[in-house]
Amino acid sequence: MSLLEKYDIPAPRYTSYPTVPYWETDQMEERDWMREVVRVFEKDRRLSLYIHLPFCEKLCTYCGCNKHITRNHAVESPYIQSVLAEWTMYLEHFPEKPVLTELHLGGGTPTFFHPENLKHLVQGILATVEIAEDHEFSFEAHPASTTREHLETLYDLGFRRISIGVQDVDEHILRVINRFQTIEEVSFVTETARALGYHSVNMDLIFGLPFQKQEHIIHTMSYINRWMPDRIAFYSYAHVPWLKNGQRAFDENDLPDTVSKRALYETGKRMLEELGYHDVGMDHFSLSTDALYQSAETGQLHRNFMGYTPLFTPLSIGLGASAIGDTFTAFAQNIKTVSEYEAAMAAGRLPLQRGHLLTQEDQWNRQHILNLMCRYRTAWLAEDPRDLILARLTEPVADGLVVVGPEGVQVTEQGKGFLRNICLAFDARYWSKVPSGKVFSQAV
């Protein structure tokens, strides 16, 4: 059996540890979450904010995000009122004004909202905080709905980083995944953002989409050569139809098999490297001029629910339906549906759906997994159950994916393509209850 076949097993993407299916939800109540938030806040007042803006006009059938499809823009104002009300609930617990380091508008589609409504939302937040000198404000832009007015309004509010959803440029593939955007729209958003002064443009691409072949990756990369975004997220398509009904629109026979899928990645990676991009952790690439590459070089790279980031703020608060907050010692996720989220806000309740308080062991394992994901190595801790971890690493060692020594574990060049599998060795929660049904997407 080839390494690809052997390691193409369901495995977490490790945007958190413990991964969400292993959260001990019944162990955490609202007051525990707020206590952790305030405890971390009192250390230095710095926090990052993620705001989830869930609406999209059309459903892209491949989509794994939490979204609400509607063409009714009357939903915008009440939703923004709820988000601001949620933020007020946090402010009431803070003894001083927060210092905002990062603000990210994610979705769904933030550019579904009218620029004036986004302005109202962001101004409502900024009026209550001090803005950190080294702040970074960013948003996710759908090329088909991002106007000059969006770009100008958000620039004036301090946004300097934009993430554009591209996925692929082929018309047939876009039609199959029910995504409507043109190359001209991507060019317009990229060029206008740059001309206005945005200093970091990210593009999301996906390999492993239905009908996608080598020629499509080569075609998309020829446009990357033209646009030259500062960063690229080159995601492996996560096929989880048991969680995302829209993905049932595909015939699974139209998806590339494991070997072809990895070959799509390898072609993309080689072409990106020829264009001057550096491989920064799993599925992310960056030009050497961008902060993401620089943070990887200095060992500062961090990974959170949105992927890799150059800044690490121990306290991150998520506002809006399904948003996740993280104090490093606790996670909390909001209610997922818009109607229930808004109902909780109307009733004056913190809209938490579930959470997890990290044990000391969780925190050690979390740090190991972060080290492997961000730095390709981790050092043993005195407390590690080393024999257990070594036993789980027997095959990755024999296959040349990792080197184990008295100091710790080092991922090899070959092992970089199997990071999710390697991290599994440190995932004590997973081994305490290996899932019997479908929970995670495939590792390749």
Ligand X SMILES: C[S@@+](CC[C@H](N)C(=O)[O-])C[C@H]1O[C@@H](n2cnc3c(N)ncnc32)[C@H](O)[C@@H]1O
List residues binding ligand X (CB under 6 A): 56, 62-65, 107-109, 140, 142, 165, 167, 204, 206, 235, 237-238
Please report whether residue 63 would count as binding ligand SF4 according to CB under 6 A. yes
Q: Cα 404 to the chain's mean position, in Å?
A: 29
Beta strand ranges found along 108-143 (DSSP E): 130-141
CB 296 within 8 A of CB 278: yes
Residue closer to ligand X (CB basis): 200 or 327: 200
Burial class (CB in 10 A: 0-12, 13-18, 19+), 275: middle
Please report whether residue 56 would count as binding ligand SF4 according to CB under 6 A. yes
Q: Taking the complex as a whole, how short is the minimal distance between the CB of residue 136 and ligand SF4, in angstroms?
A: 22
Q: Site for ligand SF4 (CB under 6 A): how many residues?
A: 11
Quote the CA–CA distance of 353 and 324 in Å, as a whole number.
10
Residue 59 contacts which entry, ligand X, ligand SF4, none (Cβ below 5-8 A, type-dependent): ligand SF4
Residue 206 contacts which entry, ligand SF4, ligand X, none (Cβ below 5-8 A, type-dependent): ligand X
* Helix ranges restricted to H, 200-255: 214-227
Residue 237 contacts which entry, ligand SF4, ligand X, none (Cβ below 5-8 A, type-dependent): ligand X
The neighbour count for residue 108, using CB atoms within 10 Å, is 25
Quote the CA–CA distance of 187 and 201 in Å, as a whole number.
12
Residue closer to ligand SF4 (CB basis): 67 or 420: 67
Q: CB under 8 Å to 301, separation ≥6 — which residues?
A: 280, 281, 292, 295, 308, 309, 310, 374, 375
**Residue list 108-137, contact with ligand SF4 (CB under 6 A):** 108-109
Residue closer to ligand X (CB basis): 42 or 254: 254
**Residue list 65-104, contact with ligand SF4 (CB under 6 A):** 65, 67
Q: How far is CA 394 from CA 10, 110, 342, in A?
A: 19, 45, 49
Stretch that binds ligand SF4, among 15-23, 56-64, 206-214, 285-293 (CB under 6 A): 56-64
Q: Binder to ligand SF4 among 12, 110, 115, 165 (CB under 6 A)?
A: 165
Residue closer to ligand SF4 (CB basis): 65 or 85: 65
Quote the CA–CA distance of 328 and 134 in Å, as a whole number.
21
Residue closer to ligand X (CB basis): 63 or 224: 63
Q: Taking the complex as a whole, how short is the minimal distance between the CB of residue 111 and ligand SF4, in angstroms?
A: 9
Quote the CA–CA distance of 331 and 318 in Å, as a whole number.
10
Residue closer to ligand SF4 (CB basis): 118 or 291: 118
- The SS3 of residue 242 is coil
Residue closer to ligand X (CB basis): 104 or 135: 104
My answer on whether omega of the bond before 107 falls inside 30° of 0, hence cis, is no
Interface residues toward ligand SF4, by CB under 6 A? 56, 59-60, 63, 65, 67, 107-109, 142, 165
